[in-house]
Amino acid sequence: MLLEFTVNGVPHRVDTDPEQPLLWLLREQLQLTGTKFGCGMGLCGACTVHIDGAPMRSCTLPAVAAQGRVVTTIEGIGVANGELHPVQSAWLLMNVPQCGYCQSGQVMSAVALLNSNPKPSDDDIDNAMSGNLCRCGTYPRIRAAIHLAASEIQAVSYYDPREQGLDQERSS
Amino acid sequence: MSVDRRLFLKLSALAGGGLMLGFTLPACSSKPSGFPNQHAGALQANAFLQLTQQGQFILQLHRAEMGQGVYTGMATLAAEELDLSPEQLQIEHAQYHPDFADPEMKLMLTGGSSSIRNSYHIVREAAASFAHILRLAATQLDANLNTSQALPELLSAVKQGGAWAEYLVLAGQISAPDEIVLKSPKDFQQIGQHNQRLDALDKITGKAQYAMDVQVPNALDAVLLRCPQLGGKVLSFKAETALASSNVVKIIEVTDGIAVIAKGYWYARKAAKLVQIEWQTDAAAKLNTAELLIERQHLLDTEEGYEAEEIGNKKDAVGERFEAQYEVPYLAHACMEPLSAIADVSAHKVTLWAGNQAPDVVIGAVAKATGIDKSLISFHNQMLGGGFGRKTLPDYIVQAALISQAAGMPIRLQWSREEDIQHDYYRPSATARLSATIAENNPTSLHSRVSSPSVLGSYLPAVATGLLPGWLPESLPNFAAGVTAKRDYSSTEGLTHSPYQFAYKRCDYVLQKQAMPVGYWRSVGHSQNAFFLESFIDELAHRCQQDPLAFRRHLMAEDEAHTRVLNALESLSRWGQLEANQFQGVAIHKSFGTIVGEVLTLSKGQNGLVIERVDCVVDCGLVINPDIVIAQMESGIIFGLTAALKGKIDVIDGAVQQSNFHDYPLLRLNESPQIRVRILDSEQAPQGVGEPATPPIAPALANALFAATGKRQRALPLSMA
């Protein structure tokens, strides 16, 4: 089938099997490799993209479901001119990533959460983020970074635990 | 909001996820001419560092970045001696070169939490040597230049003088100094100060490149069907229907499986479901985890085994005898990145792209498998989407090379999550019996007896054939593996050399030969042995009617370093100062040179027991990047909690029963506790950080659960009920 949709603001027409998951179409046909393959069953969230603003697992979503829709990937969430989204800035300030493989999906889920809920509680974060696995265990920092993005991100120029009065100790 | 460049200022990182080799192999690869990744016209002082004609310093990252932070850590070490900030270095994944070999393991290998420990001098020396040459060249170029200023300012002055090209030529003629003076720790500007990760920006914008993301023109996508049962080989197969499936290019029998090659991963996977294969299996297809457990118990009943440690006199083991048996299952690594490799194999050249912890193991194994000389093979390492020891093995890269060779085209091999879990090299399943004698509430002896498969016995034949000289008999690696397996020190590590003093101590290892393929898994033998020992010490404390933390302090009184960690942990965790319905468990363990103590606090509410927080104290010697140390403690704890609460691989008739995250679950964000980390100051040499936080967490949880329920759980995974 001929799939017509918008990806990161750019209209695309792509020939694909309608059943091919959107993940592989993005990665292989559009070379948008920031979206990752983790499980193929929608269990880990590494492949999270936004369809019309809603977070979806692209590894199980057939390409046909994107027909006429607006798709946003990790490559497309910066504010403008290659600048970072506030969620990405918070991730950077909190040194969230380790191996980094799951982080595109984590960031996409967090952006979607803050779009719908600008001041999430811990329970809200649990509900929105527990579908995104991280084997390195960056969860405490993800939680802290979401709170940071939601609150004082504009006020913080860079993160140094010692300036926060925590010495080399962090309550996460 | 733009990124403040100050984000990237200062300090560094630490090692992680892997193994510690108990053997050394000669690095027999013929030395490549020159250094890899050489930039045209650049001044190259040594394998690690170059200065380009544009004035850019380039560092070869000789260790695999798999989340543990070596990308930042190595840059910090080099930057320190070059008077730079780490973010000013351009960093490239190093290709294989003998100068990148680990001084202990004699291999270019990332494992055993050794990266910073074993690079602390090497990388600084490489940088200091380069700095010395650059200063000397400046003197020769222009005696009026002030060579006491910081190196970047000196280089700016040279550039402004207009003789930059001449300067690089001059510097290229100067040999490395015989003696190198390194900066004194009191003068460090970056080490211990820099607190940001250099790879974070790429990893949150989708730009970081993992194996799967490498774009190789004309590479087609391959999947490899293998027998679900261990050791199975192809007897026959039918692929007509699959071959007619859309986008499919080739279907071939290769490396004990059937490779389906297509334009696009999903098309290859879809067609693979249509291939009918008849498998031929052997004795390995009879393995069952339930039977292996019974066999280990029988092995422990025998008098067999290797005495790994004996301290004191057996006659001092007096008093009432108390014994307990513990058990841990096989575990998969479950890196978030399913294994992937790209290979382009022709008659005279092999190019490989993948993420791997051991480039020379990769090159040796691919040379052996393809029959192509090592000197014709180049391996391009990538960011690893997790390693944890899994990527010390070259199996998936060898498969990619063999498929490419057989198909005569470049291919990208992609494993599914199911293949990743079912064809792993597992953390060994192990059984331990610990016994003590107690006289008047004082323990007088400790005897641990453990049975498990040997990781070393599995790893040695898997990698050695490609590393040993060709004239050695083919049987040698297997013979050597058989000999070393029986005494594999990693099977008892942590049970031996414990800080606890007993009048009599002994530790035995009984090898279990029947096994699933086993491999190095974050913290290796410590991952189970800390659970055995620290659970048993807790049991002894209760039997001796003493507080578990005070009991430990008493038993390790002669060990100042352990006592320091335990005391700091007591204060950080507010040990014993509990509210109603709170319960604590403590464990302390040294691995990879680093002591980590953890107290886990449970709280009992409407939904039963919940892990409220984990307090962690670490003594890892001198710290390169404090925040990365904290991150690795958090990481090791959460990784260990998955094993403590969820991890279990079951095998029936040689086939792994688990397949994806629904039946091999990992800890999720909503289950992740609050974690507080305190790093103890130290002027000792840097030690490991990637692994040591994992071993204590399972016993800390088991001990807290005992405090809460009065029920002792002696098998992982634990039940919170």
Best A135, A143, A166 member to test B by mutation, with max B CBs in 10 Å, is A135
pLDDT: which is higher, B231 or B464: B231
CA distance A140 to A158: 19
pLDDT of residue A159: 38
Nearest chain A residue (CA) to B192:
A168
Identity of the amino acid at B205: T
Q: Which 8-state DSSP code applies to residue B427?
A: B
pLDDT of residue B236: 97
Query: Are residues B501 and B518 both part of a single domain?
Result: yes
pLDDT of residue A165: 37
pLDDT of residue A156: 39
Is residue B71 a part of any domain in this protein? yes
- Of B414, B441, B467, which residue sits at a domain end? B414
Query: Are residues B37 and B83 both part of a single domain?
Result: yes
CA distance B63 to A9: 39
Query: Are residues B598 and B497 both part of a single domain?
Result: yes
At residue A169, does pLDDT exceed 50?
Answer: no
What mean pLDDT is predicted for residues B423-427?
98
Judge: A133–B384 Cβ closer than 8 Å, yes or no. no
What mean pLDDT is predicted for residues B424-453?
98
In this complex, the residue of B197, B210, B416 whose CB is nearest that of residue A101 is B210
Is residue B495 a part of any domain in this protein? yes
Least confident stretch, B100-109, B376-385, B512-521, B533-542: B100-109
Helix-helix angle B115-141:B70-82, to 10 degrees: 30
Burial B140-167 (b: 16+ CB within 10 A, else e): ebeeebeeeeebeebbebbeeeeebeeb
In this complex, the residue of A37, A100, A137 whose CB is nearest that of residue B634 is A137
Query: Are residues B438 and B366 both part of a single domain?
Result: no
Task: Give the percent of chain B with pLDDT over 90.
Answer: 88
pLDDT in tens, B699-711: 999 999 999 999 9
Best A98, A103, A130, A153 member to test B by mutation, with max B CBs in 10 Å, is A98
Judge: A126–B669 Cβ closer than 8 Å, yes or no. yes
Identity of the amino acid at A119: K
pLDDT in tens, A57-113: 999 999 999 999 999 999 999 876 678 999 999 999 999 999 999 999 999 999 999
Q: What is the largest CA-CA distance in chain B?
A: 84
Nearest chain B residue (CA) to A44:
B661
Is residue B161 a part of any domain in this protein? yes
At residue B150, does pLDDT exceed 90?
Answer: yes
Structural domains in chain B (count): 3
CB atoms < 10 A from the CB of B311, how many? 15
pLDDT in tens, B4-52: 322 222 222 222 222 333 333 333 333 345 899 999 999 998 999 999 9
Bridge partners, residue B509, by sequence: B306, B450
Best B203, B598, B680 member to test A by mutation, with max A CBs in 10 Å, is B203
Domains within chain A, CATH numbers bracketed? 2-76 (3.10.20.30), 86-164 (1.10.150.120)
Chain B nearest-CA distance from A102, in A, is: 7
CB atoms < 10 A from the CB of A122, how many? 11
- Of B162, B188, B204, which residue sits at a domain end? B204
CB atoms < 10 A from the CB of B288, how many? 16
Question: Residue B30's domain spans which residues?
Answer: 5-204
CA distance A97 to B72: 12
In this complex, the residue of B1, B7, B634 whose CB is nearest that of residue A140 is B634
CA distance B241 to B275: 7
CA distance B202 to B212: 16
pLDDT of residue B2: 33
pLDDT class for B602, splitting at 50, 70, 90?
very high
Query: Are residues B188 and B48 both part of a single domain?
Result: yes
pLDDT of residue B9: 23
pLDDT of residue B413: 98
* A chain contacts of residue B2, beta-carbon cutoff 8 Å: 83-84
pLDDT of residue B4: 32
Chain B nearest-CA distance from A134, in A, is: 7
* A chain contacts of residue B69, beta-carbon cutoff 8 Å: 98
Query: Are residues B638 and B705 both part of a single domain?
Result: yes
At residue B472, does pLDDT exceed 70?
Answer: no
Judge: B206–A136 Cβ closer than 8 Å, yes or no. no
Is residue B423 a part of any domain in this protein? no
B280 three-state secondary structure: strand
- Looking up residue B137, the CATH number of its domain turns out to be 3.30.365
B116 three-state secondary structure: helix
CB atoms < 10 A from the CB of B550, how many? 14
Query: Are residues B157 and B270 both part of a single domain?
Result: no
ipTM: 0.94
- Of B204, B221, B243, which residue sits at a domain end? B204
B330 Cβ neighbours under 8 A, 6+ residues apart: B289, B426, B427, B428, B429, B516, B518, B648, B649, B651
Q: How many residues does chain A have?
A: 172
- Looking up residue B569, the CATH number of its domain turns out to be 3.30.365.10
Residue B75, exposed/middle/buried by CB under 10 A (0-12, 13-18, 19+)?
Answer: buried
Q: Which two tokens stand for residue B401?
A: 């090379």
- φ, ψ (nearest 5 deg) of residue B146: -85, 100
Judge: A170–B337 Cβ closer than 8 Å, yes or no. no
Query: Are residues B306 and B276 both part of a single domain?
Result: no
